[in-house]
Chains A and B, each alone.
Chain A
Amino acid sequence: MSEMSAAHVLDKHAGTARELIAFAVGKQEFCIDVMSVREIRGWTPATVLPHSQSFVRGVINLRGAVLPIMDLAVRLGFPPTEAMGRHVIIVVQVGSQLVGLLVDAVSDILTVTDSDMLPPPDVASDMAKRFVCGLLAMDGRMISILSVDNILPERDDGEVQ
């Protein structure tokens, strides 16, 4: 699965420069395609949704729309984020849905070409298999490229798992 999506990502953007937005979750750095990002905003307390999965922090009011917030740390297998004012919500569009991703901080916008991208290593971590579709090596830093499609909770008949 991870290999396929990695190949897909690499194929699709072969030879062209892409812009990625880099952010920190815990001690690690991740990035996503800037094209899927709608806006970046500060943290506001979320309204808890009953019976939701642990990584769903709740919902906030985004100019009148109800925006679900995913704690990316929990989703990626880290301890939950102790959200405070300095934390950041990246609003991304996945399909027709808008989703907020709670991260520690946004660090960079990177312009990379395919040659910079490395396939994800074959490690046992579930997180790596499901969400990471590539790696970047930059100035000695390792940045994982996330595939946003898999970050949402699965919808099955409109019901949250």
Chain B
Amino acid sequence: MDSLRQIFFQECEEQLAELESGLLEIQSGGADDPEIVNAVFRAVHSIKGGAGAFALEDLVRFAHVFETVLDEVRKGRLTTSSNVIETLLRSADVLSDLVRVARDGGTVDDGRIRTCSDELAALSGVPAPAGGAEEADEGFDDIGFTPVTVALPVFDDLDISAEPEGGTEYTIEFKPYPSLYSNANEPVVLLRELSRLGEVTATCDTSAVPNLEEIDPEGSYLSWTIQLKTEQAEDEVRSIFEFVDGDCELTISDASGSTASAEPVDDEIEALLARVRGEVEEAPDAIREDNNADAAFGSFGSSNAVMGQLEAVEAMQAEQPKPTAPAPQAAANNLVPPPAAEKPGSPQPEPAKPPAPAKNEKGATSEAAQTIRVDLDRVDRLMNLVGELVINQAMLSQRLSEAGLSRSSEFATGLDEFEQLTRDIQEGVMAIRAQPVKSVFQRMPRLVREVAAATNKKVRLVTEGEGTEVDKTVIERLADPLTHMIRNAIDHGLEKPEVRVANGKREEGLVRLSATHRSGRIVIDIADDGAGINRARVRAIAEEKGLIQPSAQLTDEEVDNLIFLPGFSTASTISDISGRGVGMDVVKRSIQALGGRVSISSRPGEGSTFTLSLPLTLAVLYGMVVTVADQTLVVPLTSIIETLKPKPDDVHGFGGDSRVIGLRNNFVPLVDVGRELGFRSQAADPGAGVALLVESDGGGHSALLVDAIQGQRQVVIKSLEANYGRVPGIAAATILGDGRVALILDVDAVVAGARIGNLGQEAVLAMAG
């Protein structure tokens, strides 16, 4: 049950995402596309259905009200004006809160649900029910309806009633196929749904149930005849069976329509119909009472004949000109199967849906993208194995070239192909882990709505490149920084509406969130068309908080980057939205932890753009392979800004042990990596080595002194923690083409270590083999 629950909530997430993106699409002018409206409706309907199965009453109740409004939209009776969409979007938020509460516990503000329900009810014109079915009954009482029972002896358990004023009576014949059960549908749930619409009298036909020894445990033997009295339109009744379409035999006929017409012929037909139905009901009893095979055959024969009669009668009924009556089954069977998804919004009544042939159903699903759910562990294991393969391949080609094989030999060409294949496999496996950023982008519209409401600003969010794919782990860890940055963009970036108007801008602020792939990385822009960074104010605050010296000469870019300093907050009052002073430095740190960078470009009066550049995967890393004191190290390329060959004249002593290097009228600290890691005790000669200019925590620059650069390479990241533990100054390990382990430098830690002094005791290098 728990696992079912889990699946239900997973699916809820998907449906909610579908719902929100659909609504947003409608908002941006897609209301004409019935597919979108339909998808939105289906999303809410599925949530309602699932929630019903788990007895999540609150959720069902709200989803029902929501669904009613969406159905009005679907039928074209409610136009999607901006007000309506606002309400629907808010309802989607409430719905997702209800789902969350159902999953994780907690409470949702009752007032909010109430307000939202009322708004929805106002839209649909149907009062929000307080408690499902009773409400529907009350509805009948209100219009003073008194059921009159017509005595029909053969029809004992069916409640044929006189036509209620304003209501319709349907006769629903519902015969599930085995596939209905195998698709985890449950007739009881459907019947319960029906009972929400009105008064239901259901009769179960057990005649098809064979003797015990002949029962196929997965077979379907029961069918139902349901009399439903309701005010709802037939579409409404039919929509309950939407999910079992094709999995059952379903006829919905408007019984009251025929009685209401009050033509004598109809009465006769009705009576006949009732009688033959009664006979059909009785026939099985005969079978069960009499085990004699001949008698059973006889009964079957007669009941078949009766069936034939029944159909004939129904066909006759259908010929009666009744605009509201659906095409009966006999006629419907000749119709072409309806399209897999109904076309909503059509004003005319929908044609009856005959049971879709199974093969048609399959054809429809195969067109849609097929997906499977796979345990993440399995993918990761595959990922690891491919990592091994890559290393092995690199080792093999290194061995072969060491063996002096010529480039044109068969081995070499074979190896080239092998290398290509390996790379393809690696990309393929990484693609499995890759997901579109949509999953995190689509959380943002809601955030924007909430923040806009809290700050009394008008904001339009535009997202681009939602299909851009990146590793799942990256996506998961992107949500928080993005949330923060969007909050900031609205709270700090955008001006108040009146200020915007005064400045000749549109009242509505624009926040643009876009993702693209650029040279093996994903680049995400968060742009606003607000006032831009107020540099004078940023500077003043940084000075006030002692983050910079008043005398410091800073470029515009450097001033902009001050907002990434820990403890910096420009909001003069601490608001609920942002401005807790933990904003941008946390953003920057979490992006850097992912191997990414943040940069800002801002123009006064025109807005600011924050650009995140992130690796596509956390399993591999592009690094510069360097030599330090005979050890091979990998420095992540993302932190390297440039490399330079220091001239001895540029290097100056600074204090006791430290050195700085002069670089274009600036001095940056020179970090001797060999000493910092304890690989050597004497300071290296800067003239003999290479300096890597790196950016570290907080945007500061430092120069890392290494002995030589071997090259750039993509490396597979290996954990040191698994078998050993954390090593100061080292982020992880990797295995190079020669089969040896190389350590990946933790640039921030090394730079920070150099700032506070040597990291610790020095390793005894002499012992290394």
Contact = CB atoms under 8 A, between A and B. Distances in A.
Contacts of A107: none
A66 B723 contact: yes
Contacts of B677: 50-51
Contact of B723 (A47, A51, A54, A65): A65
Contacts of A48: 631, 679, 763, 765, 768
A47 B718 CA distance: 14
A66 B679 contact: no
B590 interface: no
B725 A155 contact: yes
Contacts of B759: 50-51
Interface in B92-122: none
A67 B723 CA distance: 6
B395 to A, nearest CB: 9
A44 B765 CA distance: 16
B384 A64 contact: yes
Given A43-B769, A159-B725, A51 B763 contact: yes
Contacts, number: 112
Interface in A62-104: 63-68, 71, 74, 80, 83, 97-99
A149 B161 CA distance: 83
Given A48-B631, A54-B764, A71-B767, A59 B729 contact: no
Interface string A13-37: 0000000000000000000000000
B376 to A, nearest CB: 20
B761 A51 contact: yes
Contacts of A47: 631-632, 733, 740-743
A49 interface: yes
A57 B769 CA distance: 8
Contacts of B384: 64
Nearest to B733: A66
Interface in B724-769: 724-730, 733, 735, 739-743, 759-765, 767-769
A153 B677 CA distance: 19
A140 interface: no
Contacts of A67: 723
Contact of B725 (A65, A98, A160): A160
A46 B769 contact: yes
B350 interface: no
Interface string A128-153: 00000000000000000000000001
A61 interface: yes
Contacts of B722: 65-66, 97
A121 interface: no
A51 B391 contact: no
A104 B763 CA distance: 23
Given A47-B741, A61-B739, A64-B384, A83 B727 contact: no
B723 A49 contact: no
Nearest to B745: A50
Contact of B679 (A50, A54, A98): A50
Contacts of B764: 54, 80
Contacts of A68: 723-724
Instruction: Classify the secondary structure of B's interface with A.
Output: loop
A50 B739 contact: no
A93 B764 CA distance: 26
B429 to A, nearest CB: 15
B401 interface: no
Contacts of A45: 740, 768-769
Nearest to B764: A54
B721 interface: yes
A68 B769 CA distance: 14
B678 A160 contact: no
Nearest to B384: A64
A7 B16 CA distance: 62
A105 interface: no
A51 B728 contact: yes
B225 to A, nearest CB: 63
Contact of B727 (A52, A64, A71, A97): A52
B387 interface: yes
B726 A59 contact: no
A66 B719 contact: yes
A66 B718 contact: yes
B538 interface: no
Contact of B720 (A54, A59, A98): A59
A46 B764 CA distance: 13
Nearest to A68: B724
Contacts of A71: 767
Contacts of B739: 44, 61
A9 interface: no
B388 interface: yes
B723 A160 contact: no
A68 B718 CA distance: 13
Contact of A60 (B720, B741, B762, B767): B741
A49 B727 contact: yes
Contacts of B679: 48, 50
A83 B735 CA distance: 21
Contact of A64 (B388, B631, B632): B388
A160 B724 CA distance: 8
Interface in B172-228: none
Contact of B726 (A58, A66, A159): A159
B635 to A, nearest CB: 14
Interface in B5-21: none
Nearest to A160: B725
B685 to A, nearest CB: 21
A99 B720 CA distance: 12
A160 B759 CA distance: 13
Contact of B735 (A44, A64, A98, A159): A64
B733 A59 contact: yes
Contacts of B743: 47, 49-50
B134 to A, nearest CB: 58
Interface string B464-497: 0000000000000000000000000000000000
A24 B733 CA distance: 31
Nearest to A43: B769
Nearest to B730: A50
Interface string B667-696: 000000000011100000000000000000
Given A48-B763, A50-B727, A64 B741 contact: no
A74 B740 CA distance: 23
A45 B739 CA distance: 11
A160 B727 contact: yes
Interface string B691-730: 0000000000000000000000000001111111111111
A44 B768 CA distance: 11
Contacts of B726: 158-160
A58 B735 contact: no
Contacts of A74: 767
B387 A64 contact: yes
A74 B765 CA distance: 14
A47 B741 CA distance: 6
A60 B742 CA distance: 9
Contact of B729 (A43, A50, A57): A50
Given A50-B678, A61-B735, A97-B722, A66 B741 contact: yes
Contacts of B631: 47-48
A66 B724 contact: yes
Contacts of B763: 48-52
Interface of A: 43-52, 54, 57-61, 63-68, 71, 74, 80, 83, 97-99, 153, 155, 158-160
7 contacts: A47-B741, A49-B724, A54-B764, A65-B722, A65-B723, A97-B723, A160-B724
Interface of B: 384, 387-388, 391, 631-632, 677-679, 718-730, 733, 735, 739-743, 759-765, 767-769
Given A47-B733, A48-B763, 11 more contacts: A45-B740, A47-B632, A48-B765, A49-B727, A51-B729, A51-B763, A52-B763, A64-B387, A65-B718, A74-B767, A159-B726
Which 7 pairs, one residue from A and one from B, show the smallest C-beta to C-beta distance? A50-B677, A45-B769, A64-B388, A68-B724, A47-B741, A48-B768, A51-B760
